[in-house]
Amino acid sequence: MLATLACRHALSSSLVRSLKLTSTTPIHNIHYRGIVMASPVSPKYLLVLDFEATCGNGIQTPEIIEFPTLLYDFKEDKVNATFHAYVRPVENPRLTPFCTELTGIDQETVDAAATFPEVWERFQAFLMEHGVYENLDDYSFITCGNWDLKTMLPRQLEISESEHGLDASGRLIPPYNDWINLKAAFRKQLKLRHDRTMAGMLSTLKLKLEGRHHSGIDDCRNILRIIQELRERGYKPVKGVQ
């Protein structure tokens, strides 16, 4: 606990000040140690993220219940680390039957999980361990659509009153405010007219779904398979493709 509190303190004070982060500062324009990073930027590592949240009848305020992230070395085509945690919801602690059927997450699993603030601290420690905050330009989140980081994370941080992640106006700070939307990247790479869902992208690439759709960790792995196939076709990730 002392270690995680120390991580949170470091992130919310000296580290954030040293990077001069604001919600309106793109990652590739951050002033770090007196250097203005060039634009556009192709990250070396991708943080593949896919939240699952409470859903179903009566759920007015969705809460994150599964928090998975794969740290993928794009050049080496290798997953360097995995973060995966289930999260106990607070606003609506009982999962709806629809939510369990959709995600495969049962009540026993979330009842045994930590609440979001603790999981969020652990995620900060994960990012620090792998040097994300020291080399922001080398890393970018990638998600299947904009919902995870545009909508769900800001909402969850507000609900949880978390100390790190939002600025004074309630907007995300780096690295969370700069992500690649895989749907947009896929459409541009293959010169399609419209975005595809994850299932649609897999089908277009003639790849079969592996695992369970709407299991966060399985979705991350399937998103990664799409990225790997695009990589074979010459795709290079660029920050801010949304």
69: CATH: 3.30.420.10
| Counted domains in the chain | 1
The reply to whether 42 falls in a domain is yes
User: Is the pLDDT confidence value at 6 over 80?
Assistant: no
User: Is the pLDDT confidence value at 35 over 60?
Assistant: no
* 217 exposure class (CB count in 10 Å sphere: 0-12, 13-18, 19+): buried
Per-residue pLDDT reduced to its tens digit, 64-110: 999 999 999 999 999 999 999 999 999 999 999 999 999 999 999 99
Domain that holds residue 23: 2-232
Split at pLDDT 50, 70, 90, the class of 39 is low
Please state, in angstroms and rounded to a whole number, the distance separating the CA atoms of residues 64 and 86. 8
H-assigned helices in the chain? 2-10, 16-19, 97-103, 107-111, 116-129, 153-160, 182-190, 198-204, 216-232
**Catalytic residue from among 118, 130, 134, 214:** 214
Mean pLDDT of 5-33: 44
52 tagged catalytic: yes
User: Is the pLDDT confidence value at 37 over 60?
Assistant: no
Angle between helix 216-232 and helix 182-190 axes, rounded to 10 deg: 30
The reply to whether 57 falls in a domain is yes
The reply to whether 242 falls in a domain is no
Please state, in angstroms and rounded to a whole number, the distance separating the CA atoms of residues 216 and 194. 24
214 tagged catalytic: yes
The reply to whether 20 falls in a domain is yes
SS3 75: coil
Please state, in angstroms and rounded to a whole number, the distance separating the CA atoms of residues 148 and 206. 26
Please state, in angstroms and rounded to a whole number, the distance separating the CA atoms of residues 195 and 192. 7
Please state, in angstroms and rounded to a whole number, the distance separating the CA atoms of residues 66 and 46. 19
Split at pLDDT 50, 70, 90, the class of 112 is very high
Please state, in angstroms and rounded to a whole number, the distance separating the CA atoms of residues 39 and 57. 45
The reply to whether 237 falls in a domain is no
Its pTM stands at: 0.85
**Catalytic residue from among 52, 63, 66, 121:** 52
The reply to whether 191 falls in a domain is yes
Tokens of 169: 């106006």
Split at pLDDT 50, 70, 90, the class of 241 is confident
Please state, in angstroms and rounded to a whole number, the distance separating the CA atoms of residues 220 and 213. 10
User: Is the pLDDT confidence value at 29 over 60?
Assistant: no
The reply to whether 241 falls in a domain is no
User: Is the pLDDT confidence value at 5 over 90?
Assistant: no
The reply to whether 7 falls in a domain is yes
